[in-house]
Structure 1
Amino acid sequence: MTFATIPLPAAPDVYAPDGAEVRLLVRAAGGTMAHFKLNPGEVSMAVTHRTVEELWFVIAGRGEMWRRDATREEVTPLVPGVSLSIPLGTEFQFKAAEDEAFEAVAITMPPWPGMDEAVHVQGRWASKVPV
């Protein structure tokens, strides 16, 4: 592994299994970093991960994150400066405010293995993403 420097790409590299725009950032042996974006009014598909957990940091916009595990369920307001965890086995879904895009940077540990990592689940809201 060597030094890596990657500027934020202007266009998405891929779309996540939940429908969010993904711009790939740096990676290391223990994890990957990516920028996620939902446009105004978009709602991701609800998913859970098979093998990874994530740490998110909101950098722009407003929205909400729904998370559920075997013992707890909550909806968290998403505004710049908020960080949150998505432990392994957590079902989650997020949405952007109607009037502005939502953006976050996330670290996935271990590194994101591929699109088969996410399993679609029943979420809190009806999804609204271009798929």
Structure 2
Amino acid sequence: MSFETKRLGTSPDATAPDGSEVRILCSASRGSLAHFTLPPHAVSRAMAHHTVDEVWYFVSGCGQMWRRSHDLEEIVDVEPGVAITIPVGTHFQFRSVSPEPLTAVGTTMPPWPGEGEAFAVDGIWEPTV
């Protein structure tokens, strides 16, 4: 067993398959934590995951999140204080509708396995990133 401590970086560690900036935070055996940033008025690419569930908590900006899984589909408004789930296989896309970046902290369970986990799907908005 070990402990991990990390401060949010000023520069992104990677670009997510959806086009958002990713700052990797901590990871444990059953989950990982990352910070996602979408620029003002930007629209992500629509994606789904092969094997992971995610839970996101929005910390700044305002936007919308679209999710579809089988017969269930919705668009929800997101802003600081809102948390959402993205179950494995769910199609999702998000957009910023404010003059500031839309940011969220998300946990991935199990930890993000790497390239090939996310795959592109048809979304409802035209991506800009």
Aligned equivalent of 1:124: 124
Q: Quick check: 1:70 aligned with 2:70? A: yes
Aligned equivalent of 2:42: 42
The percent identity for this pair of structures is 49
Q: Please report how far the alpha carbon of residue 22 of structure 1 lies from its aligned counterpart in structure 2 after TM superposition.
A: 0.1
Q: Please report how far the alpha carbon of residue 89 of structure 1 lies from its aligned counterpart in structure 2 after TM superposition.
A: 1.0
TM-score (norm 1): 0.96
What code does the residue aligned with 1:26 have?
A: C
- Aligned equivalents of 1:60 and 1:98: distance in 2? 10
What code does the residue aligned with 1:95 have?
A: R
Q: Please report how far the alpha carbon of residue 16 of structure 1 lies from its aligned counterpart in structure 2 after TM superposition.
A: 0.3
Aligned equivalent of 1:107: 107
**Could you list the per-position Cα deviations for residues 7-56 of structure 1 after superposition, in whole angstroms to 9, with x for gaps in the alignment?**
00000000000100000000000010000000101111000000001000
TM-score (norm 2): 0.98
- Aligned equivalents of 1:28 and 1:16: distance in 2? 20
**Could you list the per-position Cα deviations for residues 53-90 of structure 1 after superposition, in whole angstroms to 9, with x for gaps in the alignment?**
10000011111000001021100101000001000110
Unaligned ranges ≥5, structure 2: none
Q: Please report how far the alpha carbon of residue 98 of structure 1 lies from its aligned counterpart in structure 2 after TM superposition.
A: 4.2
Q: Quick check: 1:53 aligned with 2:53? A: yes
Aligned equivalent of 2:94: 94
Q: Please report how far the alpha carbon of residue 115 of structure 1 lies from its aligned counterpart in structure 2 after TM superposition.
A: 2.2
- Aligned equivalents of 1:5 and 1:99: distance in 2? 31
- Runs (4+) of structure 1 exceeding 3 A deviation are none
Unaligned ranges ≥5, structure 1: none
What code does the residue aligned with 1:80 have?
A: P
